[in-house]
């Protein structure tokens, strides 16, 4: 899958789960940049992302992402 496509689908998931239509994702976006993104919504995001992209992440992968860019890399590598 193209990286652009991953980002646009990710953006949809983020907007839907976090209930905020103004979210724009870049490689360097982190939880600090989005108010609604906390430790609880993080899990909801992961569940939704796994469902959308039909992938399963390992715990180590999830815990080691530093930003949305690394999350997108991980999806691309699957």
Partner 1 sequence: MVFNSFIFWIFFAAIILPYYTVFRGKANWQNGWLLLASWFFYGYANWKMIPLLLIATGVFYWLGIQIERHSESEPKRASLLSTLGVIIGIGILFYFKYLGFLVEEFAALLEKMGCIDSKPALRIVMPVGISFFTFKLIGYTIDIHLGKIKAERDALAFGTFVSFFPTILSGPIDRPGEFLPQLKEGRSIDYDNLAEGLRRFVWGLFLKVCIADRITSYPNAVFGNVSYHNTTSIILAAVLYAVEMYADFAGYSEMAIGVSRMLGLKIRENFRRPVFAQNVSEYWRRWHMSLTTWITDYVFMPLNIAFRDWGKWGLYLATSINIILIGLWHGANWTFLFFGIYHSILLILVAATEKGRKAFEKKHRLKGRWFYVTPRRILTFILVSVGLVIFRAKGLSDLGAIISQCGKGFGPVFTNGLLEIGTLGLLSAVILFLKEWKDENQWNIHFLHSEHAWIRILSMAVMIAFIIFAGQWHGGAFIYFQF
- Chain positions contacting partner 1, by CB under 8 A: 39-40, 42-43, 46-47, 59-60, 62-64, 66
Helix, strand, coil percentages for the chain (3-state, nearest 5)? 65, 0, 35
Nearest-approach distance from CB 5 to partner 1, in angstroms: 25
Distance, CA of 39 to CA of 8 (rounded, Å): 23
Nearest-approach distance from CB 4 to partner 1, in angstroms: 26
Q: Which is nearer to partner 1, 47 or 55 (CB)?
A: 47
Q: Which is nearer to partner 1, 24 or 47 (CB)?
A: 47
CB of 38 within 8 A of CB of 32? no
């Amino acid at each position: 899958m193209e990286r652009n496509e991953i980002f646009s689908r990710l953006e949809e998931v983020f907007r839907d789960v976090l209930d905020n239509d103004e979210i724009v994702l870049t490689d360097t976006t982190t939880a600090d940049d989005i108010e609604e993104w906390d430790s609880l919504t993080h899990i909801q995001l992961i569940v939704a992302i796994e469902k959308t992209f039909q992938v399963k992440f390992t715990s180590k992968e999830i815990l080691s992402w530093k930003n949305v860019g690394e999350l997108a890399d991980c999806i691309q590598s699957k």
